[in-house]
Chains A and B, each alone.
Chain A
Amino acid sequence: TQLLEQSPQFLSIQEGENLTVYCNSSSVFSSLQWYRQEPGEGPVLLVTVVTGGEVKKLKRLTFQFGDARKDSSLHITAAQPGDTGLYLCAGAGNAGKSTFGDGTTLTVKP
């Protein structure tokens, strides 16, 4: 079974601070996705990373895929209250099935 461990599990910061969320596995993934989920809604895709060492930027969010395609990180610059939510990494598996990380609950206080 492929497992994805996310850290930290909970993060509470002030508006304007920077933060990094980590997603680690002992398995290699062909691609990895990051999702954000708000209460009462389903997860929404933020980004897909495919190539080892790849870095993608989405406004204040920077995503990196490890060289060995076993780990990834999400860095948020100058966090805003609108960034509050549950962040999930997911590794692509066989037949379209994804393995999800434990999740990181982020709270950004104004």
Chain B
Amino acid sequence: SAVISQKPSRDICQRGTSLTIQCQVDSQVTMMFWYRQQPGQSLTLIATANQGSEATYESGFVIDKFPISRPNLTFSTLTVSNMSPEDSSIYLCSVATSRDSPLHFGNGTRLTVT
């Protein structure tokens, strides 16, 4: 299975600033996704990171707030822009090798906005 490195693992940021989270996979993968999770709760899909094109966002998430890059099949970034305390959460990168395969996750980035 793919090994996913995500960084930073945690950060404390001030309101109004932006944070970019990196996700590096040790092999080429077809699909990469970004999820958000409140501690101890379910996962909410933010967007699908598409290689070489704009990400596909889920309802309630927009590119201006969560710009995503995916320059190749092994790397993606998620930026949380103009942060507010409501953005405090765990952000998870995940990958799937095909449409029918299960997801593999990074260890997440725990973000606290003060």
Residues of A within 8 A of B (CB): 30-31, 33, 35, 39-45, 48, 86, 88, 90, 92, 95-98, 100-103, 105
Contacts and interface: CB of A to CB of B under 8 A. Distances in A.
Contacts, number: 63
B33 interface: yes
A97 B45 contact: yes
A45 B102 contact: yes
Interface of B: 4, 6, 9, 30-31, 33, 39-45, 48, 92, 94, 96, 98-108, 110
A21 to B, nearest CB: 14
Given A88-B43, A101-B42, A45 B104 contact: yes
A35 B96 CA distance: 14
Given A88-B42, A101-B42, A42 B108 contact: yes
Nearest to B105: A42
Contacts of A33: 102-103
A95 B103 CA distance: 12
